[in-house]
Amino acid sequence: MLLMGVGIMVLAMGAQGAYLLSELRRIHNEELVNKARVVLETISVPLISSIATHEIERLDRTVGDLQERLREIADLTTVMVLDTEGHIVALSDKERYGTIPEDPLVAQGIAARGFFHAYPVRNQVRHLFVSQPLESRVNSLPGLRWGTVVAELDLQHQDHKRAILVREGIVAVVLAGLLTAGVIFLVVRRQFLRPILRLTRAAQAFQNGDWTARAGVRGRGELATLGATFDDMAENLVAHTDNLQQLVHQRTAELATRNEELQVLMTQIEQANHRLADMVRTDPLTGLFNRRHLEESLAHHCALALRSGAPLSFAMLDVDFFKNYNDTKGHPAGDEVLRILAAILQRRLRKTDIPCRYGGEEFALLLPDTAGDKALLVAEHLRKLIASTSFPFGNIQPGGALTVSIGVSTLAGGDKAPEQLVREADEALYQAKGAGRNRVILHQDAA
Amino acid sequence: LFLALCCLGPGCDPQPVHGISEEPVAASPLFPRSCKFAETAPQEIGVAVTTLIGGNEKEQYKRVLLYLSDQLKIPFRLLTFESMDEIIAAMESGIVHLASLSPLAYVRARDRIPCMPLLLTQVSSGTTHYVSYLMVRNQDGPRILEECRGKKLALVSQYSTSGYLLPMDFFLRKGISPDTLFSQVIFTNDHVTSLRMLEKGTVDVVATYSEVVGPARASGVDTSAFRVLAITGRTPYDALVSTDRIPRDLALRITDALAGLNTSTPEGRKILTGSLDLNGWVRTSPEIYRPLAETWGRLLRSGVQQP
């Protein structure tokens, strides 16, 4: 683009040079004509006077003066003075006096009412033909025509000089044009192209992630301002991004802290929930499941046993003469007995069995996948173990030891509601109580 | 560049260019519309000249009048008067039908004779204008104007253009009063007489004109002993005027006849050649006398000249 611009500029300068040379040529020609015109007009006054007064010698002298003055302009070919009919009345060649020149240009000069000039080419050499009427007149009114003075100048030397001048001019114009074009190229490159390239590269690098890229355009002008603005913008962008990153890091750290705190809180909540759940289904005195959990588990296991056909047994355990113990040793001692019993139950039962505190001194045992006979054995084993255990102040009990009565019910392949299973175990427990306590009774349906 | 290089070749040489400076052809003499011109020609045309010219000059005029009589078939008679003032008075009275007035006389006569068509301007030494000089002796004459103090000045007459109007205006423009600069100012009535007095030393500075040299030399004055001290102005030659006492067509025929008479032909030279430098006449315009009228007005306003 730049080279094309320089090319156009050189062409324009060439055209301008051609125009200037053409003007130079025109001015040169006009100058020649004007010089000749001034000489002829000046000399026409004494020529007219000489003709009017018919002083031929003075006329010849004046023509001699005219020749000298014209030679100062260019090489002189001819000077002659013609009368109104075109006869030669004064000429360097006296033999031609009185004759009429055959040159048509002379006829044109005679016919002209004012100064006349032409550029005839004779023997391939350009000439300047000039003529001036010798006339006495007032303003533009037709006056007295005394004759015509004509002259012809050989322009060979003038044209040669001018050709040299033109040639030198062309060389000067070309050199000046090239120099100017070069200077313009350098200036444009320095002032415009280089800053634009720097800007482009910086912008591309910046776009590709090089945040350190800067245009670095120096100087004055719009491009320098643009470059400085770009650099400022890049600085601001980098600073802004750094600030953003710092802010993100800070916010992330704060969020992590909050997350950790939340995690701890959630753990605490979960633990609290667990504790709450445990509290909901656990008996606070003995640490066994409470009656609520028993009812949920009993319903679940009843349904499970009904679908799978597996046996399920249930036992109700009651401390014999516990009222007596409480009344005698107080409730704290009674509570301690209950905790010991609970520990025995937890320790001696299977992991899959579910011991619960049913209420007061009553305990319930849910024995999944356990038929009636097996349940009876488990209950008997527990009764014996409790009876043989040394409880604090157990000796105050009737019989000298703390005992328990156990009623057992079972569900074996039949459809039985959980309430019925509990009621049958409770009936069996009453039977055990009625039979003298410290014994295990299996409900008759189970037997 | 290509175009420029072309200009080096012979092909770029301009074709012969002809240049002609033409000027428009102008009209015939002015005949004021308000004037009533005679319808019939008088028996004889009275032509006025001053007695200031010598016998040789009178013979020149007579040959011209004979020429006119031959051309127009009307008798012309030469009338001589002592001064331009008398000629103007004679024109007013109707005695004179045709007159050759000095430029200043023409300017002054226009106020008195409104119906005075300007026919032609005289041509002398091939020109329609002449130059007015202050002339001094070569040997002992003043070299600058300031050296004229205490010298004697010769003017011609108060109707003379170069012998009075132009030098007086020249002094006026220079801020010089001739009465205080010169010890004496005299009127000689004649240019040749002025030069003769200059030659003899009677006066030191002469107000005259460029074409006086010929007549003065013919009168035996050694004009080579003089030089020009200052050019005081340039003015057209004498005006040939007619009056409303001759018909317009006759005035035009006189104009045509005299415009065709000049010294470019042997016949013309035979009629016009003489001590009076007269080469013929050209058609003219009152406009060329306007600067002179302005000068005259300036002089009147200055109080130097009474109307």
Is residue A30 among the annotated active site residues? Answer: no
Helix runs in A2-129, H state only: 2-52, 56-71, 104-111
A88, A100 Cβ separation under 8 angstroms? yes
CB A151 within 8 A of CB A35: no
Contact status of A117 with chain B (Cβ, < 8 Å): yes
**Do A116 and B18 contact (CB within 8 A), yes or no?**
yes
The pLDDT score that the predictor gives to residue B91 is: 95
Q: Give the per-residue pLDDT at B305.
A: 60
Cβ-count burial B114-123 (b if 16+ within 10 Å, e if not) = eebbbbbbbb
Interface list for A 373-392 with B (CB within 8 A): none
Q: What is the pLDDT of residue A280?
A: 87
Assess B236–A contact: CB distance below 8 Å, yes or no.
yes
pLDDT tens for A378-387 read 999 999 999 9
- One of A361, A380, A424, A427 is an active-site residue; which one? A361
d(CA A245, CA A236): 14
Answer whether B226's CB lies under 8 Å from B198's CB.
yes
Q: Would you say B261 and B64 are in contact if contact means Cβ atoms under 8 Å apart? A: yes
Residue range B229-242: average pLDDT? 93
Chain B residues closer than 8 Å to A140 by CB: 23-26
Please state, for a pLDDT cut of 70, what percent of chain B lies above it.
87
State the average pLDDT for chain A: 88
Across the interface, whether the CB atoms of A141 and B284 are under 8 A apart is answered yes
Res A177 pLDDT > 80? no
- Res B9: pLDDT: 41
DSSP codes joined into one string, A338-373: HHHHHHHHHHHS-TT-EEEEEETTEEEEEEET--HH
Q: Which of A37-51, A214-228, B189-203 has the highest mean pLDDT?
A: B189-203
CB contact A55 to B (< 8 Å): no
Partner residue opposite B263 with nearest CB, options A53, A166, A167: A53
What's the confidence (pLDDT) of residue B274? Answer: 79
Query: Model confidence at A4, in pLDDT bands (50, 70, 90)?
Result: confident
Higher pLDDT, A148 or A447: A148
Nearest to A146 among B126, B128, B269 (CB): B126
Q: Around Cβ A177, how many Cβ atoms within 10 Å? A: 19
Is A115–B21 a contact, with Cβ atoms under 8 angstroms apart?
A: yes
A 118-137 near B (Cβ less than 8 A): 118-121, 126, 134, 136-137
Asked if pLDDT for residue B13 goes beyond 50, the answer is: no
The answer for residues whose C-beta is within 8 angstroms of residue A195's C-beta and 6 or more apart is A215, A217, A219, A223, A224, A226, A227
pLDDT at B29: 55
Greater model confidence, A331 or A219: A331
Interface with chain B: mutation pick from A28, A141, A156, highest number of B CBs within 10 Å: A141
CB contacts, 8 Å: A15 with chain B: 3
| Spatial CB neighbours of B190, under 8 Å, sequence gap ≥ 6 | B52, B156
**pLDDT tens by residue, A42-60:** 888 889 888 888 888 888 8
- ipTM of the assembly? 0.77
Q: What is the pLDDT of residues B154-170, one digit of tens each?
A: 999 888 889 999 999 99
Mean pLDDT of the region B139-145: 92
User: Which run of H or E residues covers position A174?
Assistant: helix A156-188
* Among the ranges given (A15-19, A302-306, B175-179), the one the predictor scored with the smallest mean pLDDT: A15-19
Residue A352, pLDDT above cutoff 60: yes
* pLDDT of B118 above 90: yes
The reported pLDDT for the residue numbered A197 is: 87
Contact yes or no for B262 and A25 at CB 8 A: no
CA distance B234 to chain A (A): 14
Kindly indicate the confidence band of residue B246, based on its pLDDT and cuts at 50, 70 and 90. very high
What sign for the dihedral angle of Cα A211, A212, A217, A221?
positive
pLDDT of B225: 94
* Partner residue opposite A15 with nearest CB, options B3, B18, B263: B3
Mean pLDDT of chain B: 86
Closest-approach residue (CA) in chain B for A165: B8
Q: What are the helix and strand counts (H, E) for chain A? A: 10, 11
- pTM: predicted TM-score of the whole model, two decimal places: 0.58
Averaged pLDDT for residues B224-251:
94
Q: Residue B141: is its pLDDT beyond 70?
A: yes
Per-residue confidence at B14, pLDDT binned at 50, 70, 90? very low
Mean pLDDT of A346-371: 93
B43: its two tokens? 């028996």
Which of A14, A83, A118 is facing B4, going by the closest CB pair? A14
pLDDT at B6: 42
A5-19, A23-37, A112-126 — which is least confidently predicted? A5-19
The residue with tokens 């189970």 is A446
At A446 the pLDDT is 55
When mean pLDDT is compared over A26-35, A168-177, A433-442, B122-131, the highest value belongs to A433-442
